[in-house]
Structure 1
């Protein structure tokens, strides 16, 4: 859960009197929420804003994804995480949190990716590590990069080349795209749609 502060904690962090913080809240100078009991809680981003601090780049989050539960059961997900942890520790970075998803990179409604996006504005980390760009998303990587950068968080891709498994997943995603669009064009159960999908499957191969 993103960090937040009570009035007294926030005042102590900034070295000001609690009444000063209360006045900022009343005047609309600080964003805050209220607990069920009515107490104010001030998000971590407000501390960063007022302190003028950049997000700590040596505090990182890890994001890993595989396309299927079979890949997860085979250990692919854990191997990604091991690679990311080794990279972080090799650079002397602290791992603050980990996000993992099982699903296609074309799926925009991945639970842990959405959680990362919810957390990022109040996060304790200044960097997100992924093995390859397509682990985060098949399309729109630059958009996510700009979005996180807006909140002071950098995405670091630790591998330059796509491995064989990722290439195979890309083929699967391409076939899913063709099936989806041809289904909308010709009807999900139509013979024409299946002919298009079969043609793509027969033509698309992964180089050995």
Structure 2
């Protein structure tokens, strides 16, 4: 499924003018689709141009609060790998932290993941629960990730929706 972005978002992402965006579409570097009176630009083309052919990646992020939960961290990571495999995602790496969900002070790997996201190199981050990113302010992270073209897949929510759909169709 092709994802699109508005002209303003494409120009802001690439740090280019409207005339340069027009030239890129004329040269075939960025695809566009006319929707109503305006064009929407192919998100994948914008990110490919930005990253010069580097394929955007899918990462797993897992976190627990204390070292006593290290086994839980391993189980969480394995569950996320299984989910990704079943969903058909290729995992390019795993970031894991043992640190508080409120404080970011000791979350070295979380910041490494953010650096990748800000470089527009990440297509998707898979997490078990919303609070694995942060106990507070998930909506802020959702906005931030989306701004850099990164999707957050929350496995607990995907499974709830899948179970509801299955129950609905099994009743028939």
Q: TM-score, normalised on structure 2?
A: 0.58
Q: Which residue of 2 aligns with 1:102?
A: 98
Matched, 1:147 2:134: no
Q: Which residue of 2 aligns with 1:156?
A: 153
Matched, 1:84 2:65: no
Q: Which runs of 4+ in 1 moved over 4 A?
A: 50-53
- Greater percentage in strand: 2
- On the 8 A contact 1:129/1:155 being kept in 2, the answer is yes
> Offset at 1:125?
3.3
- On the 8 A contact 2:51/2:120 being kept in 1, the answer is no
SS in 2 for 1:61: strand
Matched, 1:63 2:61: yes
Distance 2:153 2:67 in 1: 26
Larger Rg: 1
Aligned residues: 112
| Gap regions ≥5 residues in structure 1 | 1-44, 162-208
SS in 1 for 2:92: strand
Taking the TM superposition and a 5 Å limit, the aligned residue runs for 1:6-25 are: none
SS in 2 for 1:71: helix
- On the 8 A contact 1:127/1:155 being kept in 2, the answer is yes
Q: Which residue of 2 aligns with 1:132?
A: 129
- Pair 51,128 (structure 1): closer, same or farther in 2 beyond 3 Å: closer
| Gap regions ≥5 residues in structure 2 | 1-44, 159-172
